[in-house]
């Protein structure tokens, strides 16, 4: 996940594989089957671009990401979508494609009260084997004190993103949500920087706005996140290790996050790594996460047996009514013919030219 402020010379492998720990896991005993990449501000957010976004940078990023991923094996682009500066890419290993279905994408604008796409969310959903997964990329409202606006951006995405068959974001087994959420640290900038220099990140977490809002149940309800044991990712001077030295001198914050939710509580999602990389082409440092989960698979034989049991319990498929009479019951012949004649008049049974009936 990266708020990039687009530059086409970005060393993408340094971001996608940020340290030796992640690389060793990826290359030896864990090969990433799915790679989801969220970008924010891939174009300059000026008035012209906000109203009419160019897809040139999306294509450039797609080509660059393909080349970077090729160093770890072959991947196929499952889907991508751009909403002005927000962009989501999902790549998968080729061997998985026969087992992926129901891929769909939707997005929602939240900038300027929903009129502009400078802020917003994109979601891609799919079913892999029998497990449904949704990836969401978001760019929420900026500003130190715009906490309520950020919460509303989250709720808007939940309510307005829709997939076929009435599916919503939380209508999936697993949801991965990433982006520039813009939640800040509610402390003076000099206090935050002092804690960062001392690497006392745990002292900052209680004042992290996203942590506070999650605890109050105002956003990302029942989502999980890895430990924030890395330095805040915002705001840097570009091509520098210095936090913002501009006139605004914004306080550092963990604006860039990755969370997940096991909606059914049946799929064990294991976080294997969560951290940042030192890509310096933006005023944000990108974050990455490595997850592992087991997808459910349907047993065809058991599925067929259950299907046949259900069909059998429903009775004949043509709505035929079967009547079972216990004991000896006799009806007068004239009553029988009277009922039969009435049924013929109603067209329920065909008129017979010859009918033989006997009662013993």
CA angle at residue 234 from 232 to 235, to 5 degrees? 135
The mean per-residue pLDDT over the stretch 92-117 comes to 87
Predicted TM-score (pTM) of this structure: 0.80
Is residue 249 situated within a structural domain?
yes
**DSSP-derived pairing of the beta strands 174-180 and 224-225:** unpaired
Q: Tell me if 345 is assigned to some domain.
A: no
Report, as an integer, the average pLDDT of 102-125. 86
In a domain, 29, yes or no: yes
Q: Give the mean model confidence (pLDDT) for residues 167-194.
A: 96
Average pLDDT of span 99-118: 84
Q: DSSP labels for 128-156?
A: ETTEEEEEEEEE---SSS-HHHHHHHHHH
Cβ neighbours of residue 250 closer than 8 Å, sequence gap 6 or more? 144, 189, 234, 235, 244
Q: Please tell me the predicted confidence (pLDDT) of residue 124.
A: 98
Average pLDDT, the chain: 83
List CB contacts of 137: < 8 A, sequence separation 6 or more: 1, 38, 39, 40, 86, 87, 88, 121, 122, 123, 178, 179
How many structural domains does the chain have? 1
Range of the domain at 268: 2-300
In a domain, residue 92? The reply is yes
DSSP 282-332: SSB--EEEEEE-PPP---HHHHHHHHHHHHHHH--TT-PPP----S-----
In a domain, 199, yes or no: yes
Token couple for 360: 């013993």
| Per-residue model confidence (pLDDT) at position 353 | 43
pLDDT (0 to 100) of residue 253: 96
pLDDT band for position 322 (cuts 50, 70, 90): low
Residue 354's pLDDT is 41
Cβ atoms of residues 267 and 294 within 8 Å = yes
Residue 108 has pLDDT above 60, yes or no: yes
Most confident of 9-23, 115-129, 133-147, 277-291: 133-147
Q: Give the containing element (helix H, strand E) for 210.
A: helix 209-215
Whether residue 235 has a cis bond before it, omega within 30° of 0: yes
Q: What is residue 230's three-state secondary structure?
A: coil
In a domain, 273, yes or no: yes
Judge whether 325 lies within some domain.
Answer: no
The predicted pLDDT at position 8 comes to: 47
pLDDT one-digit tens code per residue, 224-258: 999 999 999 998 988 899 998 998 899 999 999 99
CB-count exposure of residue 65 (10 Å: 0-12, 13-18, 19+): buried
Q: Which CATH number fits the domain that encloses residue 42?
A: 3.60.10.10
Alpha carbons within 13 angstroms on the beta-carbon side of residue 299 total 4
Domain contains 265: yes
Q: Is the pLDDT of residue 350 over 70?
A: no
């Amino acid at each position: 996940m990266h708020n990039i402020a687009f530059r086409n010379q970005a060393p993408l492998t340094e971001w996608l594989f940020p340290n030796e720990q992640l690389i060793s896991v990826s290359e030896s005993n864990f090969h990433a089957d799915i790679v989801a990449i969220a970008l924010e501000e891939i174009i300059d957010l000026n008035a012209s671009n906000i109203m009419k976004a160019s897809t040139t940078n999306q294509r450039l990023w797609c080509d660059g990401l393909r080349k970077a991923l090729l160093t770890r094996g072959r991947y196929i682009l499952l889907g991508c979508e751009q909403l002005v500066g927000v962009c989501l890419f999902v790549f998968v290993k080729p061997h998985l494609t026969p087992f992926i279905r129901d891929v769909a994408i939707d997005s929602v604008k939240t900038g300027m009260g929903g009129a502009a796409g400078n802020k917003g969310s994109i979601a891609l959903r799919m079913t892999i084997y029998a497990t449904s997964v949704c990836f969401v990329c978001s760019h929420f409202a900026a500003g130190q004190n715009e906490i309520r606006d950020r919460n509303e951006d989250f709720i808007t995405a939940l309510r307005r993103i829709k997939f076929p068959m009435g599916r919503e974001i939380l209508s999936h087994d697993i949801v991965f949500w990433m982006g520039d959420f813009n939640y800040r640290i509610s402390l003076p900038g000099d206090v935050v920087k002092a804690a960062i220099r001392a690497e006392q990140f745990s002292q900052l977490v209680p004042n992290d706005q996203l942590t506070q809002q999650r605890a109050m149940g105002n956003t990302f309800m029942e989502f999980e996140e890895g430990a924030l044991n890395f330095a805040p990712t915002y705001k840097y001077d570009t091509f520098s290790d210095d936090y913002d030295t501009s006139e605004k001198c914004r306080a550092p914050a963990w604006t860039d996050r990755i969370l997940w939710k096991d909606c059914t509580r049946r799929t064990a999602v294991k976080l294997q790594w969560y951290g940042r990389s030192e890509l310096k082409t933006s005023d944000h440092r990108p974050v990455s996460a490595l997850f592992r989960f087991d997808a459910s698979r349907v047993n065809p034989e058991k599925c067929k047996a259950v299907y046949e049991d259900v069909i059998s319990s429903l009775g004949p498929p043509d709505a035929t009514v079967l009547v079972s009479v216990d004991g000896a019951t006799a009806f007068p012949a004239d009553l029988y013919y009277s009922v039969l004649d009435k049924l013929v008049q109603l067209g329920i049974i065909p008129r017979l030219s010859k009918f033989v009936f006997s009662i013993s």
